[in-house]
Structure 1
Amino acid sequence: MTEFDEDVVIVGSGFGGSVAALRLAEKGYRVRVYEAGRRFEDEDFAKTSWNVRRYLWAPAVGCYGVQRIHRLPHVMILAGAGVGGGSLNYANTLYQPGSAFFQDSQWQRIADWEAELAPHYSTAKRMLGVVEHYPHTGPVERIMKGAAEDLGVGSTFRHAPVGVWFGKPGERTPDPFFGGEGPERTGCTLCGNCMVGCRIGAKNTLMKNYLALAERRGVVIEPLRSVTEVRELPGGGFAVTTQRSGAWIRRSSRTVRARQVVLAAGTWGTQQLLHRMKATGALPRISDAVGRLTRTNSEALDGAIAAKVPESLQLARGVAITTSFHVDERTHVENVRYGPGSNLMGALATALVPGDRGLAGRLGSLVTQVFTAPVRQFRLGNLRRWSERGIIALVMQTADNSLTLSLRRKFGRLVMTSAQGHGEPNPSHLPQAHVAAAAIAARVQQDGGEPAEARGSWPEVFGIPLTAHFLGGAVISAGPDAGVIDPYHRVWGHPGLHIVDGSAVPANPGVNPSLTITALAERALSHWPRAGEPDLRPVQDPGR
């Protein structure tokens, strides 16, 4: 086989796929990107989260928004959709993890990863336009600082590094990042709707940097195309089959041949493909380790809310995440906000219940709280102005816990399921999150003069944590018995297939992972040869 439609096909356009698109185009490859989601211009995003068709992703019922929600037995997952992947609805928060992440036993002996990745973190920060410290202080930032001090960890409080063009609020300006080669930008207005989709044009999504530059270099991006199969070809290379996203009929199935393929469909999408292609024999040599070391960033989403707050307490004003502190050495807490009117996700919130009880105990606690103070619980749970009355607490840990994902048959279809994996059990709740939420609630009440309360989520009531940072399952390893990809992100047994998204991340970073995914992708692509030149990477040992 010597004829290929493309040199490289990239599946997905998030943080890993966008890096691959630009860097491979710069090295002279013909590149095509398939993205399951739609393409958005700034004005295409939903005005608030109540515009369900533009906010939620459920293409089978006509919803082509940016917010995916997936469910497994042990976790509920929030992810992104669209050209630009998770950058469209993430909180533009770009932390670099601490040393514990780089020293995880899964990959510690392969390289000095902290030193190896340092220059690539620098490149990622430059490309994503990182402002190291959020430059504004308002009521939420003061509340978070006060909560940290009340917990005795005030020294750990800091303003978050964010990927936003602040400029002059609402003012359009020529590209300030890439010498005029990138798109025009508009200064941030602090509207708070970063996670619904930035209609202002201030958020440094991947369409404002990597993907914009990649398209200028000839990369073709096809939106609303879901990859259904990646099959190795007898003479080398791969056949990649796609269909129209969400189609019930007229699926418009197409197949192209590519010399190499990069999987960057996010942890959910990439794992789905790997599991199915291994099961069907399309990619028969995928490691049996696929699905192991799937991580949730040991995460919880709790928070604090008041029934009413004064107009002066503008909790919804600012970018999505602005500050953080550490409850202990492995537990990181960030404030999260939605803008005024974006109250839909409040439907996931409910009273905080003791996580160390069984289901009956948690339900009993919930019922007791409701019947003891029904009016108060109704007022707290009311979605009207929900985003303006509270603060979400995003809590993450570097703890070594994991899930193992696999396929099972359900109603005649193969679907992913989960089981507890290596390390500690993946937590259904975090006691530290409850402590942090209570401290934040006390400060909201102090500043607002109205009783405030720590809040949990409905999934947590049923023992299922929420995560916005689903990672791993196709991790970097020294050999195929321990993971799915080699240190150059080539799939063991299929070296023309590469993985450069969150599924490659081998440990819980304990911070928002977007910067790390970008840095890992930058490093992986830096080792690719230029088109037509010798590949200096070590040849995979087929016996490993």
Structure 2
Amino acid sequence: MSGFDEDVVIVGSGFGGSVAALRLTEKGYRVRVFEAGRRFEDEDFAKTSWDVRRYLWAPGLGCFGVQRIHRLPHVMILAGAGVGGGSLNYANTLYQPGAAFFADLQWAGLADWETELAPHYVTAKRMLGVVERYPHSGPVERIMAGAAEDLGVGSTFRHAPVGVWFGKPGERTADPFFGGEGPERTGCTLCGNCMVGCRVGAKNTLMKNYLALAERRGAAIEPLRTVTEVRALETGGFAVTTQRSGAWLRHERRTVTARQVVLAAGTWGTQQLLHRMKHTGALPHVSDAVGRLTRTNSEALDGAVATRVPDSLALAHGVAITTSFHVDEHTHVENVRYGPGSNLMGALATVMVSGDRSLARRIGGVVARAVRSPIRQWRLGSLRRWSERGIIALVMQTADNSLTLSLRQRLGRLILTSAQGHGEPNPSHLPQAHRAARAIAARMRREGGVPAEARGSWPEVFGIPLTAHFLGGAVISDSPANGVIDAYHRVWGHPGLHVVDGAAVPANPGVNPSLTITALAERALSHWPRRGEEDRRPRQPGS
């Protein structure tokens, strides 16, 4: 016996944590996964986003859904919650980034990352069931192709790679991916509600692959347990304290010990723990670089909406993301949809105004538009059938911009705050996103014969961009002066502690990062020895 309750405790069950759970159980380790969110069977997901108790994550208010929303001074963040992490509410979109990502100076000198990660991308695609080209086409796909042509970038248009079991729509079948070892699946019905939670059973969430297989090999997963402390023990190993998620009074605190810990709580959760544990002295050797190079994927969420639902435009029919194009070398645009009835997130949308103006002029622009055409603006802004009238434009960039996160006191509590960091300022708006949204709106008018208009978001009006891909802050580096973890994802100064999630990503990938997080995790875990065997990874200086 090791003297520890577990060999490895994993904090979080998203793309990094799920890989760790499977690969470590395969190597003989005793593994326990703590997940703050709840566990969902297919029928447990909300039918539409209006079922806020099952859709939104606000555990203190009794909402235990899949959609987290966090806010910092410089960005509003959309993230996931539940056993399976972001895979429960992400858009199934699994692109591999271009060469610029692998050549970023933060980590380029440590390895030939594009070559070294290549086999792990292959493994990640196989495990996540990637279909390299979305196999359907309809009005949205035609609109996107036309918008790309109108912008002079038609050659960059493509159908997206997605992690969905298409099969025969609605038909239940034995596991088609892992020789029958995984769960049964149901063919995609193109209902559009991937990001609310797939009630069909077609979406390749982590509960359909990595986590299902990890549990079969003995991994223990505890949902609704929020990790409040990770403390380095003087004799080696760590003590991990958890409490019941959302508890006001009966916290049911418990502590377990483990020889090693994997932090995979998503960028927000992992940074929260690292910052607070450094502050309290529970993890005293965490680098002062924690919080630096926090990335937003240089992202914006804009779009286009029509005043009514034309018969010719089935905008809500399909999976969440189906196509993309590049506005320029650094700017990638994808269409996004919610299914019929899932209109709640439309409350974030409003008139598109130029981000170059002052706050007063931006607000004035919204008011002026409403005064000039009140009926049109009321119809455009209505949440009634919003998902059936609009196309969201998710815009991502490979630009070298970042934030620096730190702790500050507010009302007696330590919370995360942000400041502009290395590189260009994190953008409050993207002119390229506005161009793309206007081109999409123009094609909607031509395709559907109805009034349509480009739309921005309320946070953007106030100079706060939206991102669905919050990354970095505990990045790979050559030394603790330049980052938080080494090339094997071990925390500098605490080599038994590992960061294996989006917080490790050192640069803006300019595409959806889930596949990259999975490939990085596969590489990191491939270097772990089998339980009881010699660890051949180079030792950290002083360890």
TM-score range, shorter chain: over 0.9
Give the match for residue 453 of structure 1. Answer: 453
Give the match for residue 261 of structure 2. Answer: 261
Q: Write the letter of the residue equivalent to 1:240.
A: V
Q: How does 1:6-405 map to 2 (within 5 A)?
A: 6-405=6-405
Q: How does 1:519-534 map to 2 (within 5 A)?
A: 519-534=519-534
SS at match of 1:340: coil
Distance (Å, rounded) in 1 between the aligned partners of 2:67 and 2:250: 25
User: After alignment, is 445-454 or 151-160 more displaced?
Assistant: 445-454
SS at match of 2:309: coil
Give the match for residue 425 of structure 1. Answer: 425
Distance (Å, rounded) in 2 between the aligned partners of 1:372 and 1:478: 57
Distance (Å, rounded) in 2 between the aligned partners of 1:416 and 1:393: 28
SS at match of 1:276: helix
Give the match for residue 475 of structure 2. Answer: 475
Q: Write the letter of the residue equivalent to 1:277.
A: M
Q: Write the letter of the residue equivalent to 1:512.
A: N
Distance (Å, rounded) in 2 between the aligned partners of 1:449 and 1:177: 43
Distance (Å, rounded) in 2 between the aligned partners of 1:42 and 1:388: 24
Distance (Å, rounded) in 1 between the aligned partners of 2:383 and 2:119: 45
**What is the RMSD computed on CA atoms of the aligned residues?**
0.8
Q: Write the letter of the residue equivalent to 1:286.
A: V
Is 1:443 equivalent to 2:443 in the alignment? yes
Give the match for residue 4 of structure 1. Answer: 4
Distance (Å, rounded) in 2 between the aligned partners of 1:50 and 1:542: 54
Q: Write the letter of the residue equivalent to 1:348.
A: L
Q: Write the letter of the residue equivalent to 2:167.
A: G
How far is the alpha carbon of 1:493 from its aligned partner?
0.1
Distance (Å, rounded) in 2 between the aligned partners of 1:521 and 1:310: 45
SS at match of 1:109: helix
Q: Write the letter of the residue equivalent to 1:504.
A: A
Q: Write the letter of the residue equivalent to 2:340.
A: P
Distance (Å, rounded) in 2 between the aligned partners of 1:541 and 1:140: 54
Distance (Å, rounded) in 2 between the aligned partners of 1:426 and 1:84: 29
Distance (Å, rounded) in 1 between the aligned partners of 2:212 and 2:27: 16
Distance (Å, rounded) in 1 between the aligned partners of 2:409 and 2:337: 39
Distance (Å, rounded) in 1 between the aligned partners of 2:426 and 2:261: 32
How far is the alpha carbon of 1:542 from its aligned partner?
2.8
Over the matched positions of the two proteins, sequence identity in percent amounts to: 84
How far is the alpha carbon of 1:364 from its aligned partner?
1.1
Distance (Å, rounded) in 2 between the aligned partners of 1:539 and 1:420: 34
SS at match of 1:136: coil
Q: Write the letter of the residue equivalent to 1:247.
A: A
Distance (Å, rounded) in 2 between the aligned partners of 1:475 and 1:361: 38
Distance (Å, rounded) in 2 between the aligned partners of 1:520 and 1:43: 32
Q: Write the letter of the residue equivalent to 1:419.
A: A
Distance (Å, rounded) in 2 between the aligned partners of 1:132 and 1:249: 48
Distance (Å, rounded) in 2 between the aligned partners of 1:425 and 1:357: 17
SS at match of 1:402: strand
Give the match for residue 509 of structure 1. Answer: 509
Distance (Å, rounded) in 2 between the aligned partners of 1:205 and 1:69: 20
Deviation digits for residues 24-50 of structure 1 (CA, Å, limit 9, x no counterpart): 000000000000000000000000000
Give the match for residue 537 of structure 1. Answer: 537
How far is the alpha carbon of 1:134 from its aligned partner?
0.1
TM-score by length of 2: 1.00
SS at match of 2:305: strand
Residue segments in structure 2 that go unaligned for 5+ positions in a row = none
How far is the alpha carbon of 1:95 from its aligned partner?
0.1
Q: Write the letter of the residue equivalent to 1:461.
A: V
Deviation digits for residues 332-378 of structure 1 (CA, Å, limit 9, x no counterpart): 00000000000000000000011111101111111111111111100
Residue segments in structure 1 that go unaligned for 5+ positions in a row = none
Q: Spell out structure 1 runs of 4+ moving beyond 2 A.
A: none
Distance (Å, rounded) in 2 between the aligned partners of 1:39 and 1:90: 16
Q: Write the letter of the residue equivalent to 1:293.
A: L
Distance (Å, rounded) in 1 between the aligned partners of 2:31 and 2:311: 51
Q: Write the letter of the residue equivalent to 1:165.
A: W
Distance (Å, rounded) in 2 between the aligned partners of 1:354 and 1:2: 61
User: After alignment, is 354-363 or 291-300 more displaced?
Assistant: 354-363
Distance (Å, rounded) in 2 between the aligned partners of 1:111 and 1:63: 43
Distance (Å, rounded) in 1 between the aligned partners of 2:3 and 2:110: 36
Distance (Å, rounded) in 1 between the aligned partners of 2:412 and 2:344: 33
Distance (Å, rounded) in 2 between the aligned partners of 1:192 and 1:406: 38
Q: Write the letter of the residue equivalent to 2:287.
A: S
Give the match for residue 416 of structure 1. Answer: 416
Give the match for residue 493 of structure 1. Answer: 493
How far is the alpha carbon of 1:451 from its aligned partner?
1.1
Deviation digits for residues 383-439 of structure 1 (CA, Å, limit 9, x no counterpart): 000000010000000000000000000001110000000000000000000000000
